[in-house]
């Protein structure tokens, strides 16, 4: 593989290109008109505009991307995450055009992309499942019957997608019909498929996921777990590896379960198997993401591997050189997704110009970044600016370094999740490890963040006044 096209934008495009360049592979960037001057365009060896700003007219145009790849003699296409990364038709289109899709085969993407098909595929491996049904439900009466069997609360969930869309938690039987209609409507709008299924809602859940890698020679590896329980609107904001609650025995059990999920669909490449864990440390299969995850850096830091490099090696037919026993957890890593969102206003997107944009630097601080000072935040895409990752020998070291890195990340012009990240890192529930996916609901409010800001500002003002008075006193002293 001498040249690859990266079918993405922002920080993930640059992340993939860095590894490709390290491996001596040329890179091609694709970009929309609004991204003409974006950093990923400058970073690549070649770059081609593929259409107007909306992703439906640019980054989601699979046929156009294939056309560019063929015209510039690309050997492979890396989809990053989002956009076409879990599009089975696009993976198939690459295969038909003799271009290597740096990801799983289309069959696995299709199977794991449908949550009901995924549940069906893994049932022969005795992987724990959340109580519920394994078929699409459209009749509210049937949903009520299921709820009576498995007990409330229940979760109504879109079969064809994720990201919190088409998902409803229902605590009372009288609300099932209305919430089901809303879930079906949202799922149809978001994924073009209104299929929903019903399962028991796990109270106080933790979101634990396992990073796996598989090659074409029948080798499967897992790179331990990530804790992704700090979320807003069912989407992750803070991730870490490893999890504070897993014992070595539980880690091994979950790792093997993740590998079995991968085996169930003849998986190839990097993937993530997601589990829910209840308060008694019982874990349940949730879904498989058939791509590189946003939070993959924390796994890289604790295991000492470059997952993108392994993806490329596997895609060109190489066997994984390491064995499971070679992999060991070393230290602790933390990631904060730096979104252009306002944590004081329900995390709504904050568009504007990056008047100031200065990244923190230092040992064990990594920033996977896609923006530069002076750039506007496009309204057309996910509002993530970068990922701030810190590493320490211990969890506490990683947390303290994250607080320091947040303080040295200077952004003006838009609101970001940086203050929220600091709030999380300083909260007793997070520090103790005693938290779940309800962290935001249970502990966070804009007024708490505001009062914290005020208290810090008052302390800073008192320190400054004390120093000023000290300086004045020194100036008045006779020579």
Q: List active site positions.
A: 291
Tokens of residue 462, six digits: 């008192």
Instruction: Quote the distance between the C-alpha of residue 304 and its chain's center.
Output: 19
| Contacts (Cβ under 8 Å, ≥6 apart) of 118 | 111, 112, 261, 265, 287, 288
Inter-residue contact 74 to 5 (CB < 8 Å) = yes
Residue with tokens 């490329």: 312
Inter-residue contact 365 to 374 (CB < 8 Å) = no
10 Å Cβ neighbour count for 327? 17
- E strands, 171-294, in order: 196-200, 206-214, 220-232, 235-241, 269-277, 283-289
Angle between helices 115-122 and 248-264 in degrees, nearest 10: 110
Inter-residue contact 413 to 355 (CB < 8 Å) = yes
10 Å Cβ neighbour count for 270? 26
Inter-residue contact 191 to 165 (CB < 8 Å) = yes
DSSP 8-state class, residue 81:
S
d(CA 341, CA 283): 32
In order, the DSSP letters of 396-441 are HHHHHHHHHHHHT-EEESS--SHHHHHHHHH-HHHHHT---TTHHH
Check whether the bond before 321 is cis (ω within 30° of 0): no
Inter-residue contact 239 to 207 (CB < 8 Å) = no
Question: How do strand 206-214 and strand 269-277 relate by DSSP bridges?
Answer: antiparallel
d(CA 191, CA 95): 24
Q: Which residues make beta-bridge pairs with 385? A: none
Inter-residue contact 206 to 229 (CB < 8 Å) = yes
d(CA 432, CA 430): 5
d(CA 145, CA 168): 17
């Amino acid at each position: 593989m001498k040249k690859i096209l990266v079918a993405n934008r922002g920080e993930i495009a640059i992340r993939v290109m860095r590894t490709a360049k390290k491996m001596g592979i040329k890179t091609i960037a694709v970009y929309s008109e609004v991204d003409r001057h974006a950093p990923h365009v400058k970073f690549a060896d070649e770059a081609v505009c593929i259409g107007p700003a909306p992703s439906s007219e640019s980054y989601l145009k699979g046929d156009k991307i294939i056309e560019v790849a063929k015209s510039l003699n690309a050997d492979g296409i890396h989809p990053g995450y989002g956009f076409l990364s879990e599009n089975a038709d696009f993976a198939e289109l690459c295969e038909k055009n003799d271009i290597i899709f740096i990801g799983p085969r289309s069959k696995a993407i299709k199977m794991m992309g449908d949550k009901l098909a995924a549940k069906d595929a893994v049932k022969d491996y005795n992987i724990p499942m959340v109580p519920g049904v394994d078929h699409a439900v459209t009749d509210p009466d049937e949903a009520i019957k299921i709820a009576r069997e498995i007990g409330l609360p229940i979760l109504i969930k879109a079969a064809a997608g994720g990201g919190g869309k088409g998902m409803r938690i229902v605590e009372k039987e009288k609300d099932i019909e209305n919430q089901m209609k809303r879930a079906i409507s949202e799922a149809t709008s978001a994924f073009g498929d209104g299929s929903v299924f019903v399962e028991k809602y796990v109270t106080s859940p933790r979101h634990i996921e396992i990073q796996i890698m598989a090659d074409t020679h029948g080798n499967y590896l897992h790179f331990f777990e990530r804790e992704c329980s700090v979320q807003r609107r069912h989407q992750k904001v803070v991730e870490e590896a490893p999890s504070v609650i897993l014992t070595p025995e539980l880690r091994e059990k979950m790792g093997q379960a993740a590998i079995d999920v991968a085996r169930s669909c003849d998986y190839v490449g990097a993937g993530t198997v997601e589990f829910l864990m209840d308060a008694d440390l019982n874990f349940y299969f949730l879904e498989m993401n058939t791509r590189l995850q946003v939070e993959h850096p924390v796994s890289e830091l604790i295991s000492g591997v470059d997952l993108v490099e392994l993806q490329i090696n596997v895609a060109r037919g190489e066997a994984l050189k390491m064995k499971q026993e070679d992999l060991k957890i070393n230290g602790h890593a933390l990631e904060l997704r730096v979104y252009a969102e306002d944590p004081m206003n329900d995390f709504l997107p904050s568009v504007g110009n990056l008047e100031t944009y200065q990244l923190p630097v230092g040992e064990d601080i990594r920033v996977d970044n896609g923006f530069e000072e002076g750039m506007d935040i496009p309204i057309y895409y996910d509002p993530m600016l970068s990922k701030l990752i810190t590493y320490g020998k211990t969890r506490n070291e990683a947390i303290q370094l994250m607080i320091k890195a947040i303080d040295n990340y200077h952004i003006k012009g838009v609101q970001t999740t940086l203050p929220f990240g600091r709030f999380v890192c300083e909260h007793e529930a997070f520090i103790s490890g005693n938290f779940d996916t309800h962290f935001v609901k249970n502990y966070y409010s804009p007024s708490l963040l505001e009062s914290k800001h005020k208290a810090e500002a008052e302390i800073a003002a008192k320190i400054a006044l004390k120093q000023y008075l000290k300086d004045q006193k020194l100036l008045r002293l006779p020579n």
